[in-house]
Structure 1
Amino acid sequence: MSDFIEDCLERVLALQVRLYSCRARLIDCTDAEALHDLRVALRQLRSLLRPLRGLPAVDALEQGAAVLGRLSGPLRDREVLGAELERLGLAHLAPTADAQRAAGYAAIAHSRELADLLLLLDGWPSSWREAARQGQLGDVEKRIRRRLRRQQRRLARALREPEHDRHRLRLLIKRVRYAAEAYPRQSCLPKVAQQRLKRAQGALGDWHDHVQWLAQAEALSALRPCRAAWLQAQQAAERRADDALLALYGDFPSEDKATFSPPI
């Protein structure tokens, strides 16, 4: 196998080891970062696999990581909300008690979704090596570069939509940024562009969190004391996000290089 193909294999195997470690930490409830670390490993796995879609064993593995990500998302959202309430001195309003959180960790650790993903990862090395032997990975770097360019063009178009959707931009920015981290040489994104992506993602993520919390404050009377502070923070995050999006225009120019007016 080429060095690049071998490197892809080793990186997936390293993420498998991290997932096993996270599962053990979730079962033991040894720390508060286990679920977050599990989700980071899943995100890195999906970022590695997404440009490889269509190759042997990739689609099922990427889908398995996506399913587990969706399963673990609500509990992670409750963790983030709990941390925010603690920061405001309102930890008693947190929607998930310690016992419930521990039960949630155990449910994810023992879930069929995680077991299925680890089983798929066990079969990954043989499938990947067989694909290499059969010559199915000969143009893998070209495939990755092509798909990463497509992602970047999609982001460039979204940045210029007159009525831009911050939710969609947040997802597109995450994909482009994480793909560049997974494949820095193939993405051809300079460091300054990656830093601007990180800044925009952070501001949009902060804005998104506050949008979600405000919706919960409307539905749950116990959270209404937080509403004024959250609304102010959401508006500030929105302004930071718009400034960060403006800064991305030069890094992701329109395909026709036409002059445009920022949709902000």
Structure 2
Amino acid sequence: MSFVDKFVAEILSLQVALYHSRARLEARTDSEALHDLRIAVRRIRSLLRPMRTMSEVAALNIAAAEVGRITTPTRDMEVMVQELETRGFLAEAQFRKARLASNYSKILKSPHLNNLFIQLDEWPTIFRSVEVNGGLKHVQPQIEKALKKQIDRLHAAVDDAGFDRHELRILVKRTRYLTEAFPKLSPLSGKAASSLKALQSALGAWHDHYQWCQKALIESDLLPLEKVWQRCAATALDKAEAQLVDLAKLLPKSSGKKKLPGGSGRNEHALNDLSITGVRFQNDDDV
């Protein structure tokens, strides 16, 4: 099977996974249906990322991004409900859980979700036409180049002690998912990939607690947990900093083109000040 054949087959398998997740969400069979749907969307976007500027890929990539965007608030609420239940704040959890059913219905009826399935149905034929016309001859080197570029960006962020940790979390996620999409093409070693996953986990825990602290400033019933979440956020960030040191030792040699991602920068105060009032907007890759 050629590289293109495997690539198309992987997208098709994720389409099947999306159908399955949607059916579970419709039937309310379990609490992980939306999460699994978002994982499939994320993997589709990771596979498409190196080719997202191609006109034959752009429509599907945009459709997947829109589904990721509209499902993020509901997934955030699911995680919040789990946190509140774990800490024994059952009334607060139930209040938010009651809103989930309505959110699920809106997602299932969303034109964005419907459009994603339409694009997935149409995409293989469009993509194959590019192959027939010789437009995919250099797709594998293109993906390898994208992986190296992504890792160079990660290098630059890791080497910058003041690099904004919110931006770093997105960069780590993007690098990990791109590597998982093309494991045989990635220059990351198995140990480096594992370290990247551990760093993402620590940064994810920090980010969740950070966001909950922000919500506690707006939603008064969460205020009793603010101090607890602040401590948890600080602990998770300390763990992430330790993981960052480990990752720096495992990254492959840079190509020498270590450029920070556009729009990112140094933001040392935002790393530790959990009392600021502005809630950060989510990056479109935060899926």
Report if TM-score (shorter chain) is over 0.5.
Answer: yes
User: Is 1:64 the equivalent of 2:50?
Assistant: no
AA paired with 2:167? Answer: R
What is residue 5 of structure 1 aligned with on the other side? 4
Aligned to 1:29: 28
Q: Per-residue displacement from partner, 1:154-187 (whole Å, max 9, x unpaired)? A: 1101112241110111111111111111101111
| Structure 1 segments unaligned to the other structure (5+ residues) | 258-262
Q: Distance in 2 between matches of 1:159 and 1:223?
A: 34
Deviation at 1:256, TM superposition (A): 5.3
Kindly indicate whether the alpha-carbon contact (under 8 Å) linking 1:78 and 1:95 is maintained by their aligned counterparts in 2.
Answer: no
Q: Write the distance in 1 (CA, Å) between the matches of 2:105 and 2:19.
A: 14
Contact 2:150-2:175 within 8 A present in 1 as well: yes
Q: Tell me the distance in 1 between the aligned counterparts of 2:170 and 2:11.
A: 23
Which position in structure 2 is the counterpart of 1:210?
209
Q: How far 1:56 sits from its partner (Å)?
A: 4.5
Letter aligned with residue 143 of structure 2: I
Identity %: 41
Match of 1:248 in 2: 247
Is contact 2:21-2:34 (8 Å) kept?
yes
2:110 aligned with 1:131, yes or no? no
**Which residue matches 1:84?**
83
Paired residue type of 2:207: H
Q: Cα distance, 1:91 vs. partner? A: 2.2
Deviation at residue 99 of structure 1 after TM alignment:
3.9
The residue number in structure 1 matching 2:102 is 103
In the alignment, what sits opposite 1:190?
189
User: 8 Å contact 1:45–1:65 — kept in the other structure?
Assistant: yes
Label 1:223 to 1:59 Cα distance change in 2 as closer, same or farther (>3 A).
Answer: same
Q: Provide TM-score, normalisation by structure 1.
A: 0.93
Segments of structure 2 that go 5 or more residues without pairing to the other structure are 258-267, 272-287
In 2, the alpha carbon distance for the partners of 1:29 and 1:142 equals 43
Give the alignment of 1:216-227 within 5 angstroms.
216-227=215-226
Distance in 1 between residues matched to 2:256 and 2:44, nearest whole Å: 34
Match of 2:75, as an amino acid?
R
Which whole-Å deviations, capped at 9, do the CAs of 1:72-121 have from their partners, x for residues lacking one? 00010011011001110112112754442112111111210000010000
The 1:88/1:197 distance shift into structure 2, 3 A limit, reads same
Q: CA offset at residue 243 of structure 1?
A: 0.4
Tell me the CA shift for residue 135 of structure 1.
Answer: 0.4
* Stretch deviating more after TM superposition (231-240 or 48-57): 48-57
2:54 is paired with a residue of what secondary structure? coil
- Cα distance in 2 for residues equivalent to 1:28 and 1:100: 17
Q: Which moved more, 1:158-167 or 1:194-203?
A: 158-167
Q: State the alpha-carbon separation in 2 of the partners of residues 148 and 186 from structure 1.
A: 8
Q: Does 1:146 align with 2:145?
A: yes
| Cα separation, partners in 2 of 1:108 and 1:132, compared to 1, 3 Å | same
The alignment partner of 1:211 has SS state of helix
Is residue 78–residue 96 contact of structure 1 (8 Å, CA) maintained in 2? Answer: no
| Partner residue, 1:17 | 16
> How many residues align structurally?
258
Q: Name the residue aligned to 1:201.
A: 200
- For residue 137 of structure 2, what is the amino acid of its counterpart? G
> What do you get for the CA RMSD once the two structures are aligned?
1.8
Of 49-58 and 64-73, the range deviating more from structure 2: 49-58
Larger mean CA deviation between 11-20 and 203-212 belongs to 11-20
Cα distance between partner residues in 2 of 1:145 and 1:100: 44
